[in-house]
């Protein structure tokens, strides 16, 4: 079964190691899994029910919802900002959780991974992301975790796609999303 996995990156910085990690996931996705890196999270206005009106949803938010609706699973890449989830990821989750009861997550599998400069690799932010997306309706794969510490040092001269250990770990994360999405579709 072919599975489309939407990748959302919580860092907007051009040289983001989490973006590089997402690029590595795209490159090393196993056969049958297509990882699509969403572009444009920074263009989406903060969620506000006053602007989330059928027929006039901001174009950037509508683009995100459309990409999510056509996906079978989600892969979040979260850095850690002040010990928690980046605002851009939380905003994406808020937009995708609406309309209430009919959000885009709809029980689809979700995994959260990431890298951060600190010694724990952003685990607090990743845990907060799992919590938020689970409440928003995603089927969070709690056992699927990948937190890579020391990002600025580890990836200073090597892109994550060229780090054999990281590439293998990402391929395993994507394979688990692929497998779970197949199970969800068959149920």
**pLDDT at residue number 40:** 96
Q: Quick one: pLDDT at residue 180? A: 95
d(CA 119, CA 116): 8
* Phi, psi for 110 (deg, rounded to 5): -135, 135
Judge whether 95 and 61 are in contact, CB under 8 Å: yes
For the cut 80, the answer to whether the pLDDT of residue 167 exceeds it is: yes
Q: What is the pTM of this model?
A: 0.95
Instruction: Kindly report the backbone phi and psi dihedral angles of residue 119, in degrees, each rounded to the nearest multiple of 5, phi listed first.
Output: -75, -10
CA distances (Å), 94 to each of 56, 63, 174, in order? 17, 14, 24
On the question of pLDDT at 121 being above 90, the answer is no
Architecture in CATH of 3-186? 3-Layer(aba) Sandwich (3.40)
142, 173 in Cβ contact below 8 A? no
Share of the chain above pLDDT 70, in %: 100
Segment 140-154, tens digit of pLDDT: 999 999 999 888 888
Q: CB-based burial of residue 49 (10 Å sphere; 0-12 exposed, 13-18 middle, 19+ buried)?
A: exposed
Q: Which strand (E) or helix (H) includes residue 67?
A: helix 59-69
């Amino acid at each position: 079964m072919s599975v489309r996995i939407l990748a959302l990156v919580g860092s907007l910085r051009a040289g983001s190691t989490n973006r590089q990690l997402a690029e590595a996931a795209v490159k090393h996705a196993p056969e049958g899994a297509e990882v699509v890196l969403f572009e444009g999270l920074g263009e989406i206005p903060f969620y506000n029910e006053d602007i989330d009106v059928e027929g006039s949803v901001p174009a950037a938010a509508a683009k995100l919802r459309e990409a999510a609706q056509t996906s079978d699973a989600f892969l979040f890449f979260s850095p850690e900002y002040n010990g928690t989830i980046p605002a851009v990821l939380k905003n994406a989750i808020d937009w995708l959780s609406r309309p209430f009861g009919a959000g885009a997550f709809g029980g689809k599998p979700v995994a959260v991974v990431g890298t951060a400069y600190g010694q724990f690799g952003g685990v607090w932010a990743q845990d907060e992301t799992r919590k938020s997306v689970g409440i928003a309706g995603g089927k969070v794969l709690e056992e699927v975790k990948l937190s890579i510490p020391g990002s600025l040092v580890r990836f200073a001269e090597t892109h994550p796609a060229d780090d054999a250990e990281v590439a293998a770990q990402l391929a395993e994360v994507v394979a688990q999303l692929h497998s779970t999405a197949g199970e969800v579709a068959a149920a």
